[in-house]
Amino acid sequence: MATTSSSPQSLASKFRRIKPADVLTAEGDHGGLKRSMGLIALTMFSVGSIVGTGIFVILGEAVPKAGPAVLISFVLAAVVCAFSALSYAELAGSIPVSGSSYSYTYATLGELVAWIVGWCLMLEYGVSVAAVAVGWGQYLNEFLSTFGLEIPAQFANPPGEAGGVFNIPAVIVVVLCAFLLLRGASESAKVNTIMVFLKIGILLFFCAIAFTAFEPGNFKPFLPLGAAGISAAAGQVFFSYIGFDAASTAGEEAKNAKRDLPRAIIASLVIVTILYVLVAAAAIGARGGQPDQWEGANSEAVLAGIAREVTGSSWAPTIIALGAVISIFSVVLVVMYGQTRILFAMGRDGLLPKVFTKVNPKTQTPVNNTIIVAVVISILAAFVPLGQLAEATSIGTLAAFAVVNVGVITLWLSRPDLERTFKVPLLPLFPIIGVVFCLWLIAALDIVTWIVFFAWLLLGLLVYFFYGLKHSNVSSDAPNDVPAAVAAKDLPTRNISVGSIIGAVILVVLAVVSFSKAFSEGMGAVKMVIWIVMGLVALAGIAYVVIGLRQESAGRAEVAAGKSADGAAAMRGGTNRITAALLIPGILFVLAMTFATSTRAAEEKANQEAGGQVTTSSQLLP
């Protein structure tokens, strides 16, 4: 039932209204979903979501960019993902509900931002699972072709692609996954766990085959394209790690959510990183790692191709193709699960119709939205060429990651009393690095992707203003602050000094790099000004970190002296200063690097069109 407010709210206050973490958790405990998943099932949910077709195809695109150093690219991409994964782990353990980043944002940054995140997740989950379902049909056809069978093109592709009329395999896989989800979360988790172990086993099978032809000399030279190649390949493989947050959507169906969700998120990223590096090392060791050795390689079947080269037969590639079919089925199942749970949470909050909250009392699953999701995804996969719409999911994913990183800092400032089974180390540095990396990757996306994303965002805002704003269950600006009953002196403290000092050191490096670039030979006037401003902002950030640390330290002293309220406010103010001091230079650095990279690329294109010398990859570093 909606609560009432004693006075009319302004529109801005409605945008900012939050749903406190303890209210969200209490609703989750009585939401009607069955708690049936343990740590292994939760971990396999995230692993199942991450390991799709990416590892089966990405090497054909990444190795030509970095050579054998693609191994470093995989580790670097995992580290970049880890900053956001740590934030997800803390929030999942603090607010164990089905809404994942949508609910975390509702508890920290307010309703409007939460709606935007939830709307982005609808795009990410809905379109990506439809695209993956389309891919499942393609890999199924490839697997069947080894037995002389084939699904006719008109029934294996959507209209407008390869003479397609209706994509039957895509609809079949969606319907099968919906059937499993309707039977219950426990059954879905068991099937997913089996499939994840199978696809991991098939990837290890590939490694075993490839290592029989392993040649250490294939890793020399290790850095044929330098640091620029590593960076380019890392950006390419980053999206192969997307999906670690899948476990967080099972917050209301985990047996011990506060303990197991953080462990599952972190464990899944570690498992997948090790698996990816093993597969990449085996592939390079067998085929070679120099870019010219991968030219013309069929990126859609690179692992199967290597298996064929090593064994000289068709049985090994057939098993690899089967692995891709199993892998994609698992992804469809888990992503559909996550979509239904996020819609369930949004419906419970009143931002979507209540039809999304109906739970089957027997299976204890949200039956209506499972059917709705299956129908919508089936239509998308069967009839709609997804094209650029699928690319737009990248912005939605990265935006959600960035908001979660901000949210973990916000929740610590507003609710330090909240029980946390896991804490992000070096707060606020790690979440800020996570935000900066997400913004960097967003800035690299093309303009058409941005246009599609903003069109989707505009549609979402219209839905919110005409429906969600009126039907929200949170009708008062609930305080997202420490309960009055909790004295400031009794609040847990968190040592932010180490992270702040490391952040200040990074700002020193940033200032040195900025000034050195500003006064380097051949630097144009506009770029010089940009880098000088960047250096000055970094220096100002260092000063602000020092001020923030002093303020936070003084607040601790006041709390110790019994001045609880004043001390808590000072500690919060100091942390806010430090956060701003690290975040603002980071954002400006992303903008400066993006501008430098784009202008360098434009200059290179002009040189090539004029018949000038081709720039090497190392020169492409801004």
CATH number at residue 291: 1.20.1740.10
216 and 302 together in one domain: yes
First to last CA, the chain: 56
User: pLDDT per residue over 154-165, tens digit each?
Assistant: 877 777 676 667
Of the candidate ranges 204-208, 221-225, 468-472, the one whose mean pLDDT is the lowest: 221-225
Of the candidate ranges 19-28, 53-62, 321-330, 505-514, the one whose mean pLDDT is the lowest: 53-62
Q: What is the pLDDT of residue 609?
A: 64
Residue 21: name the closest of 482, 448, 333 by CA: 482
**Cα separation values, 121 from 127, 139, 205, 564, Å:** 10, 26, 34, 40
530 lies in some domain: yes
> Rounded CA gap, 414 and 94, in Å?
13
511 and 458 together in one domain: no
415 and 542 together in one domain: no
Q: How confident is the model at residue 86 (pLDDT cuts 50, 70, 90)?
A: very high
User: pLDDT per residue over 425-457, tens digit each?
Assistant: 988 999 999 999 998 888 878 787 888 889 999
180 and 240 together in one domain: yes
Say how many domains are in the chain.
2
Of 406, 437, 471, the one marking the end of a domain is 471
Would you list the DSSP string of 394-430?
A: HHHHHHHHHHHHHHHHHHHHH-TTS--SS--TTTTHH
User: pLDDT per residue over 15-64, tens digit each?
Assistant: 888 898 888 998 888 878 889 999 999 999 999 999 987 787 788 888 88
Residue 177: name the closest of 52, 320, 56, 328 by CA: 328
481 lies in some domain: no
204 and 151 together in one domain: yes
Contact 129, 177 (CB under 8 A): no
397 and 503 together in one domain: no
492 lies in some domain: no
User: pLDDT per residue over 361-385, tens digit each?
Assistant: 888 999 999 999 999 999 988 887 7
Residue with the bigger pLDDT between 164 and 532: it is 532
253 lies in some domain: yes
10 lies in some domain: no
402 and 441 together in one domain: yes
466 and 504 together in one domain: no
163 and 269 together in one domain: yes
343 and 299 together in one domain: yes
Q: Is pTM beyond 0.75 here?
A: yes
Q: Which residues are bridge partners to 164 per DSSP?
A: 159
281 lies in some domain: yes
309 and 438 together in one domain: yes
Of the candidate ranges 23-32, 174-183, 493-502, the one whose mean pLDDT is the lowest: 493-502
454 and 518 together in one domain: no
DSSP H or E stretch at residue 546: helix 525-560
17 lies in some domain: no
86 lies in some domain: yes
Task: State the residue range of the domain holding 569.
Answer: 497-612
Q: What is the pLDDT of residue 5?
A: 43
